[in-house]
Amino acid sequence: MNTAAVLTISDSCSTGEREDRSGPAVAELLRQNGYEIQQRRIVADEQDEIEQALISLAQVAQLVVTTGGTGITAHDVTPEATRAVCSKLVDGIPEKMRAEGARQTPFALLSRGLCGVCGQALVLNLPGSPEGASESLLAVLEILPHALDLLAGKTAHGSDEV
């Protein structure tokens, strides 16, 4: 079973001013698709806090999914934090999420979410709204297990390979 952690990035959720709906929605979607949720956290839109949480969660889960902070406002720094802690970016995954999202709304193209490798974990940035986060995750859910296998060193593609 693959493991996952969910990190909600939101100033208002981190202070308790607003209920986190995106984190639970993403965690439930992951659970329904066979992931064991190791941790769920909420942090403020502060790059240092996000970086520390990503590094910590990447040590306990194969997949770290973030929700929030991917837009273009001054407070949206999730992509910068992700880029800072990842050794490699996987550009195709967020490209697919934006392409699928654009079928629903042209505003999906304003998401700056990234996907990358942090240690042995895959980090995936999702939008902050529960609907946007869930739809983005659904757009790439089927390829994530293969990506996690590759990170774990399982590179054989067929039963006839040695």
Domain-located, residue 22: no
Domain-located, residue 32: no
Q: What is the pLDDT of residues 25-61, one digit of tens each?
A: 999 999 999 999 999 999 999 999 999 999 999 999 9
CATH of the domain at 54: 3.40.980.10
Domain-located, residue 133: no
Q: What is the pLDDT of residues 90-138, one digit of tens each?
A: 999 999 999 999 999 999 999 999 999 999 999 999 999 999 999 999 9
How many structural domains is the chain composed of?
1
Domain-located, residue 93: yes
For 77, the domain range is 48-62+69-128
3-state secondary structure the chain: CCEEEEEEECHHHHCCCCCCCHHHHHHHHHHHCCCEEEEEEEECCCHHHHHHHHHHHHCCCCEEEEECCCCCCCCCCHHHHHHHHCCEECCHHHHHHHHHHHCCCHHHHHCCCCEEEECCEEEEEECCCHHHHHHHHHHHHHHHHHHHHHHCCCCCCCCCCC
Domain-located, residue 105: yes
Domain-located, residue 112: yes
